[in-house]
Amino acid sequence: MSVPHVLLALLSLGSCQVLAVVFGSVFPSTTTLAKAQVDLSSLIPSGGGSSFYVRVVETGSYGYVVVTGNPQSGNEAFFYDLDLNQKASFTGGLAGNAIMVDTSGYIVLGNLLLNPANLTIVGTTNAAANIRSYSAGGVDGFVDPGGNDQVANFTLSADTLSYSTYTTTWTFISTPITTISSNLSGLQIDAILDDGNPSGNVTFVVGPSPNNNIARCYFFSTEKRNFAVPLNVLDASPVFRDNLYPSSIGYAQGSIFAYDSGSGSFVRMDPSTGSIMSSFYYGGDPKNIRYGYRASGGAFYGFDQDTRVLTKYGQWW
């Protein structure tokens, strides 16, 4: 009886390599979820990935994964479709690097308005939008349910949240402020999570400042319609969880996702209670990876700031 070809291939390897192939122990478990990859090392120089983040932006029938950052040469953004085929690049000279969708359905890149069908520039805004913090998860702005105001440029100082509102033509209206919680201070915004419903909710994730890879994260949720006027206190008794990587936080299908260093797993959490609903063991340390999620689910994306590789993952939950 002949030896099967697969076994012959394994026998040609050393014993340690055979075990690695059989048990998959050398690979992070998320490799089983990987659907596509693209290497951005030709676009982002070695050592330059630490200023880049990943965003998922969807408007109408169009969706893009955007790797955007602020290198010394000027803001940059690289657009890929949801299967990671490159579609457009914007390098240098951008006034801002934040990504959002405006009331007209255009994609906002800093101060540029892009046609979502072909990513051509169709206009500019009156103010540039910028990413907020080093971890910078979720979204950078949204439209209120009435479609009359656009909300962007969130900042947090002490316990006071500030943001800017604009008309449909991006004319500045005001800068409302609100107290996030009377018993918390010294925090920064780690993520702004949009539920994908035009008349739905937005969740803020805040944590210690200056931040590190592992932190206690607090969750505050409110309706988007509240941002057309100054908010009252968002939540006097915020929900929180310990041991989360702020850089891994995202939102999909009604849940918050993050990497939990205590269990070595990605966890799915209930925004209203912070309780863990399900988890997926990672088997590695994603401290250098930034994540973006589709609000409707189906896929999420990771950009490794060290290797400068962008990966599409199928959902595990």
The rounded distance, in Å, linking the Cα atoms of 96 and 277 is 37
Domain 5-314: give its CATH architecture: 6 Propeller (2.120)
What pTM did the predictor assign?
0.86
Strand pairing report for 150-157 and 137-138: unpaired
CA distances from 191 to 97, 105, 115, 205, 206 (A): 16, 22, 26, 5, 7
Rg of the chain's alpha carbons, rounded to an integer? 21
pLDDT tier, 18 (very low <50, low <70, confident <90, very high otherwise): very low
Read off the pLDDT of residues 46-102 as tens digits, 9 standing for 90 and up.
Answer: 888 988 999 999 999 999 999 998 876 678 999 999 999 999 999 877 888 889 999
Q: What is the DSSP string of 96-150?
A: ---EEE-TTSPEEETTEEE-TTT--EEEE-SS-----SSS-EE-SEEE-TTSS-E
- Res. 267: pLDDT tops 90: yes
Q: Indicate the domain borders of the chain.
A: 5-314
pLDDT of residue 212: 63
Q: Which amino acid is at 17?
A: Q
H or E, element range at 206: strand 201-208
Read off the pLDDT of residues 285-300 as tens digits, 9 standing for 90 and up.
Answer: 898 999 999 999 999 9
pLDDT of residue 254: 93
Read off the pLDDT of residues 235-246 as tens digits, 9 standing for 90 and up.
Answer: 667 889 999 998
pLDDT of residue 156: 84
- Res. 220: pLDDT tops 70: yes
pLDDT tier, 132 (very low <50, low <70, confident <90, very high otherwise): low
- Res. 258: pLDDT tops 50: yes
